[in-house]
Amino acid sequence: MTRQQITIDGRDELTDALGISRSDVGERPTLSELRRTVETETDPEFASMGEAIRDDMSGALDADLLASELAAFEEQIARLSEVRDAGIPEGAEEPEALYREIVQPAWRLYDHLVEAGFFESLEERLPRFTPEHIEQTAHELVRLDALSEELDGLGFDEREKTVLVMNVVNNNTRLARWVPTKEIPSDVEFDVEHVPPLHKRAMGGALLWVNSMDVHLWQKEVLVTEEILDDGYWDVKAMLAGVDLIARAALDVAEDGPMSDSQLVAALTGGAAIAIVNQEEICKDVYWITEEKRNPSPAR
Amino acid sequence: MAIEEDRAVKAAQDTVVRETDQGYRVLGSPEESVTHQHDTDRIPRRDITEEDIIDSADDPESWLTYGGNYEQHRCTTADVITPETVGDLELEYELHVGAESSMEGTPLVVPGDPPVMYQSNGPNHVKAIDTRAGDVLWSYTYAVPSDVVLCCDDNNRGVAVLGDKVYMTTLDSGVVALNRYTGEEEWYTSTADHESGYSATWAPVVYDGKVLTGSAGGEYGVRGFHVALDAETGDEVWRTMTSPDEEWVGDSIEQSCATNWMTATIDTENDRLYMPVGNPGPDFDGSVRPGPNRNSAGTLCLDLETGEREWFHQESPHDVWDYDSAAPRLLIPDFEMEHRDFEGDAVVSFGKTAWGYTLDADTGKLLNRSEPGVQQLNMFRMIPHIDEGRRMPFMPGAMGGNDWQPPAYNPELGLAYFKMNNSPQEAWWRFEEYEEGKKYWGGILEDEIDQPPEGYNDHISAVGAVDPETGQLVWRDWIDSDAYIWGGLVTTESGVVFGGTQNGDVIAWDGETGDRLWEYSTGDTAISGSPMSWYDSETEKQYVAIQVGGSGWLRRGTAGRDDRLCVFSLGA
């Protein structure tokens, strides 16, 4: 289960996963608090995977395009609260573009990464989402100074930043079931030609969910409540943070930026994990509108 | 000539359906299609026009298209049968059609002297029948290839007529046009490769010189489409994939399914098609097809002239319960919904989710979602991964709610009628290999469960009425049995609703109250057919016809084979 609040249980799971003592942090620890406490040792495997990704992709990515679209995307994310305030998209014949506008630059980022073969490269070089890999990712993410700054820029407050990481760590088993195509059982010859790479599913799926918010909310206006809109706001924001993190890592590869190789892997894995966990949440919060959840009908 | 000597019947009888690991296979079919003529001169040579089909909505003597009219109301204006008179309805005759196979069809009746019925059943067997004498005039069996794979039996749910032709979809994903007067083949068009898992089981519909037909194979990783064929030649006019590439991540579109496996509804005023669309593929593993998988499990509206997409309304986003929305749509022109301040045309859909959706026909915007027709327990909760060791029975199960069973609509009463199942199932997801032409579920579906969800009322199915304006469930009659309910309904404008049950009963309900007004037991086998009705001005009787026999999906769907066409009558 993901949560939008830091609960005691959630904090305990997070601190256990990070291997830090519960007494070393407060009830609702911030990322900075966690960073001060977590071990500083880097997993050498992360570094080697990151180096391999850089070797493979550094010449294939367009740093200028990534930088400009990422900037445009971050400007759009900053508008998300306006979109939430607008509520249901207006339109007599079809919905106005609210959420679709938010993700326009992200689609251009995605298309470039697809064209460059970025996702196939990640599929080749990164392991599946085992609980251990997710936990190590969390270690690296917490220690990534730039993550906190990046999330600040996207409008995440201290609580939300911790929740984002907590929800990844605390859903490591769920995430492990999103199998990358290369990790299929070894005793079976699988034809995975049509299954997209894991990170592509993470980023592309998140964008599809956000993209369809306009028509979903507009068509289902009679069912939609303020609570659904509020929950959707968080789910969308979290998914976009995941997408942003993947794109930020891609830019780092393209311009040989400041992330260490292990932090690069953490950003890619963490970004994908955040995008996936919150895809599963937006189904429940916004799209699967049960009788209990719906806005009551005035006619019955 | 006796039906025992009918070569087409013999060919159908020699064809057997076997359930295998990959679904149903049709074995022993003839190498070439067979037509057997009995008395073809008895069929009046009067070509059917599209105006005839449009006018049939008000013509009590006609049933010229699957849904009774292009709006698919399944409502006859014949008025001999009323709530007051239906108690006197009697069996006129029973006709053994010869092939004890799937019996899910709705016959058509072309008026004339005599009126001629076109009746079909599995495996792709169709007959022309003199409705007065109950005589077979010709019969035809299509040569189904033995490598066809079918999720859910060798179903055929009916035919279409236009001009001098009768059109039938074929199990190998094709359409065959027969001469309506002689039963001889005129043309055949394959719409997709059956070796990839495509098939076709529904009644096509003809309009604007086109035969409009869809796609099936949603359990085999195919990509759904709708196609228009030239009614004279069978040439393809346009083809639209139900899911556009940009709605899916990468190559997952290739196995997106979202097939259109029941008959489209025609909007003759606005030149549109409203069609039901099924589950995304693979059925249970959503992790390989992230996103809402829009254009699956909902209603697709296309421009009739070009096939261009106008709108889509989704009922089960990112579906993982196999919640197809398969039943034909009801088009209600000039609909008023006071509490939404709406006046316009509406489309009503009953899907496996068990709600009735009333949509603005121009935009696909939801105007109203009804009370559930049956129980919803653990609904819209993510199914467990197979490694979790967890169980989660959910309702409606994967057969709905309302699966393919065509609903009916009475414009006089303003009520829509449905047939729904009310039984829990369990499913688990897992990563699965796609292999062309093989089952591609991405998980396991369990029909027999140990423990139903808390609150289950133990009623397996129901027939009911919903007011599409208010969304209120006006009445509901629980139908208890060991088997699932199948088959659709017909209503008379005078207010009587007919349907068959899985217990072999034909029942007439008062359309306004749901009271049972008349019942007839055909025996112990299930009734899977969808009834229809017509008036014969020569005999001055109103008739109701229904096919008797089990069919379909899962252990409890079959409930015994039969091969009867029962025709009931009431004199004016």
Over the range B377-404, which residues count as b (16 or more CB within 10 Å of their CB) and which as e?
A: bbbbebbbbbeeeeebbbbbbbbbbbbb
A206 to B288: CB separation less than 8 angstroms, yes or no: no
A299 neighbourhood in chain B, CB within 8 Å:
339, 368, 469-472
Asked which of A21-25, A244-248, B95-99, B155-159 is least confident by mean pLDDT, the reply is: A21-25
What percent of chain B has pLDDT above 90? 91
Q: What token pair was written down for A184?
A: 């299929």
Name residue B212's amino acid: L
Which phi and psi angles does B349 have, rounded to 5°? -125, 135
Q: Is residue A52 part of a domain?
A: yes
Please state, in angstroms and rounded to a whole number, the distance separating the CA atoms of residues B306 and B304: 6
Find the closest chain B residue to A177 by CA distance: B385
| Measured torsion, CA atoms of residues B476, B477, B482, B486, in degrees rounded to the nearest 10 | -70
- Report whether pLDDT(A3) > 70: no
Which residue among A200, A206, A276 sits closest to B250, beta carbon to beta carbon? A200
Query: Could you tell me the residue ranges of all domains in chain B?
Result: 3-571
Strand partners, B492: B76
A208 to B247: CB separation less than 8 angstroms, yes or no: yes
Q: What token pair was written down for B213?
A: 């037909």
Q: Is A53 helix (H, G, I), strand (E, B) or coil?
A: helix
Residue A182 pLDDT = 60
- State the fold for domain B3-571: Methanol Dehydrogenase; Chain A (2.140.10)
Q: Is residue A2 part of a domain?
A: no
Please answer whether residues A123 and A117 qualify as being in contact, where contact means their C-beta atoms are separated by less than 8 angstroms: no
Strand partners, B343: B336
What is the residue-wise DSSP string for A209-254? HHHTHHHHHHHTTTT--HHHHHHHHHHHHHHHHHHHHHHHHHHHHH
Q: Is residue A300 part of a domain?
A: no
Pick the residue of A128, A189, A219 with the most B CBs within 10 A to test the interface with B by mutation: A219
CA distance B110 to chain A (A): 40
For B356-381, write each residue's pLDDT tens digit: 999 999 999 999 999 999 999 999 99
Please state, in angstroms and rounded to a whole number, the distance separating the CA atoms of residues B325 and B373: 14
Reply yes or no: is the peptide bond before residue B393 cis, omega within 30 of 0: no
How many residues can be counted in chain A?
300
Interface of A with B in 199-228 (CB under 8 A): 200-202, 204-206, 208-209, 212, 215-216, 218-223
Find the closest chain A residue to B315 by CA distance: A288
Q: Is residue A206 part of a domain?
A: yes
Helix (H) / strand (E) containing B464: strand B461-466
B369 to A222: CB separation less than 8 angstroms, yes or no: yes
A194 to B469: CB separation less than 8 angstroms, yes or no: no
Q: What is the mean pLDDT of residues B159-176?
A: 98
- Between B460 and A25, name the one with better pLDDT: B460
A297 to B318: CB separation less than 8 angstroms, yes or no: no
Q: What is the mean pLDDT of residues A143-149?
A: 82
Please state, in angstroms and rounded to a whole number, the distance separating the CA atoms of residues A125 and A261: 13
- Report whether pLDDT(A90) > 60: yes
Q: What is the mean pLDDT of residues A94-98?
A: 98
Reply yes or no: is the peptide bond before residue B98 cis, omega within 30 of 0: no
What percent of chain A has pLDDT above 70? 94
For B215, counting Cβ atoms within 10 Å of its Cβ (0-12 exposed, 13-18 middle, 19+ buried), the class is buried
- Report whether pLDDT(B118) > 60: yes
pLDDT, averaged across chain B: 96
Confidence band of B554 (pLDDT split at 50, 70, 90): low
* Strands laid side by side in the B496-500 sheet: B75-76, B489-492, B496-500, B505-510, B516-521
Q: What is the mean pLDDT of residues A224-253?
A: 97
Please state, in angstroms and rounded to a whole number, the distance separating the CA atoms of residues B217 and B281: 10
Which phi and psi angles does B48 have, rounded to 5°? -85, 130
Please state, in angstroms and rounded to a whole number, the distance separating the CA atoms of residues B325 and B275: 9
Q: What is the mean pLDDT of residues B239-249?
A: 96
Does B189 contact A at CB distance below 8 Å?
no
Confidence band of A188 (pLDDT split at 50, 70, 90): very low
Please state, in angstroms and rounded to a whole number, the distance separating the CA atoms of residues B366 and B314: 10
Q: What token pair was written down for A150?
A: 């990046």
Find the closest chain A residue to B291 by CA distance: A205
- Report whether pLDDT(A191) > 80: no
Please state, in angstroms and rounded to a whole number, the distance separating the CA atoms of residues B411 and B284: 38
Does A67 contact B at CB distance below 8 Å?
no
For B388-407, write each residue's pLDDT tens digit: 889 999 999 999 999 999 99
Please state, in angstroms and rounded to a whole number, the distance separating the CA atoms of residues B169 and B177: 9
Residue B455 pLDDT = 97
Q: Is residue A294 part of a domain?
A: no
Q: Is residue A295 part of a domain?
A: no
Does B280 contact A at CB distance below 8 Å?
no
CA distance B189 to chain A (A): 28
- Between A42 and A210, name the one with better pLDDT: A210
Please answer whether residues A277 and A255 qualify as being in contact, where contact means their C-beta atoms are separated by less than 8 angstroms: no
Please state, in angstroms and rounded to a whole number, the distance separating the CA atoms of residues B253 and B222: 9
Asked which of A2-6, A12-16, B196-200, B405-409 is least confident by mean pLDDT, the reply is: A2-6
B281 neighbourhood in chain A, CB within 8 Å:
none
Residue A144 pLDDT = 81
Residue B257 pLDDT = 98
Residue B4 pLDDT = 81
For A210, counting Cβ atoms within 10 Å of its Cβ (0-12 exposed, 13-18 middle, 19+ buried), the class is buried
Q: Is residue A298 part of a domain?
A: no
Q: What is the ipTM of this complex?
A: 0.96
Q: What token pair was written down for B144?
A: 């189904």
- Between B431 and B84, name the one with better pLDDT: B84
| HSE, side-chain direction, 13 A CA sphere, residue B317 | 29
Asked which of A238-252, B11-25, B48-62, B288-302 is least confident by mean pLDDT, the reply is: B11-25
A209 to B292: CB separation less than 8 angstroms, yes or no: yes
From B269, B257, B275, B149, select the one nearest B204 (Cα to Cα): B275
B287 to A184: CB separation less than 8 angstroms, yes or no: no
What's the DSSP call for residue B5?
G
Using DSSP bridges, classify how beta strands B489-492 and B75-76 pair: parallel, antiparallel or unpaired.
parallel
Q: Is residue A200 part of a domain?
A: yes
Biggest alpha carbon–alpha carbon distance for chain B: 67
Please state, in angstroms and rounded to a whole number, the distance separating the CA atoms of residues A126 and B452: 42
Does B285 contact A at CB distance below 8 Å?
no
What's the DSSP call for residue A192?
-
Please answer whether residues B478 and B456 qualify as being in contact, where contact means their C-beta atoms are separated by less than 8 angstroms: no
- Report whether pLDDT(B552) > 90: no
Q: Is B30 helix (H, G, I), strand (E, B) or coil?
A: coil
Asked which of A133-137, A251-255, B39-43, B188-192 is least confident by mean pLDDT, the reply is: A133-137
Q: What is the mean pLDDT of residues B151-163?
A: 95
Residue A219: give the domain boundaries: 8-287
- Between B220 and B100, name the one with better pLDDT: B220
- Report whether pLDDT(B509) > 80: yes
* Strands laid side by side in the B298-303 sheet: B265-267, B272-277, B298-303, B309-314
Does A86 contact B at CB distance below 8 Å?
no
- Report whether pLDDT(B534) > 90: yes
Interface of B with A in 367-386 (CB under 8 A): 367-369, 371-372, 376, 379-380, 382, 385
Find the closest chain B residue to A174 by CA distance: B385
Does B498 contact A at CB distance below 8 Å?
no
Q: Is A185 helix (H, G, I), strand (E, B) or coil?
A: coil
Where are the alpha helices (H) located in B321-434, listed in sequence order? none
A219 to B367: CB separation less than 8 angstroms, yes or no: no
pLDDT, averaged across chain A: 90
- Using alpha carbons only, what angle is made at residue B431 by residues B427 and B434, rounded to the nearest 5 degrees? 105
Asked which of A78-92, B14-28, B176-190, B191-205 is least confident by mean pLDDT, the reply is: B14-28
> How many CB atoms are closer than 10 A to CB B500?
29
CA distance B549 to chain A (A): 36
Please answer whether residues A131 and A176 qualify as being in contact, where contact means their C-beta atoms are separated by less than 8 angstroms: yes
Residue A189 pLDDT = 46
- Report whether pLDDT(A179) > 80: no
Count of domains in chain A? 1
Does A94 contact B at CB distance below 8 Å?
yes
Residue A199 pLDDT = 96
How many residues can be counted in chain B?
572
Asked which of A108-117, B428-437, B451-460 is least confident by mean pLDDT, the reply is: B428-437
The number of angstroms, rounded, from the C-alpha of B511 to the middle of its chain's C-alpha atoms is 21
CA distance B291 to chain A (A): 5
Reply yes or no: is the peptide bond before residue B356 cis, omega within 30 of 0: no
Does B364 contact A at CB distance below 8 Å?
yes
What is the residue-wise DSSP string for B499-565? EE-TTSEEEEEETTT--EEEEEE--SS-B----EEEEETTTTEEEEEEEEB---SSHHHH-----EE
Does A186 contact B at CB distance below 8 Å?
no
Interface of A with B in 255-274 (CB under 8 A): none
Confidence band of A1 (pLDDT split at 50, 70, 90): very low
Q: What is the mean pLDDT of residues B38-54?
A: 97
Whole-angstrom Cα Rg for chain A: 19
- Report whether pLDDT(A133) > 70: yes
- Between B225 and A2, name the one with better pLDDT: B225
B290 to A300: CB separation less than 8 angstroms, yes or no: no
Please answer whether residues A297 and A188 qualify as being in contact, where contact means their C-beta atoms are separated by less than 8 angstroms: no
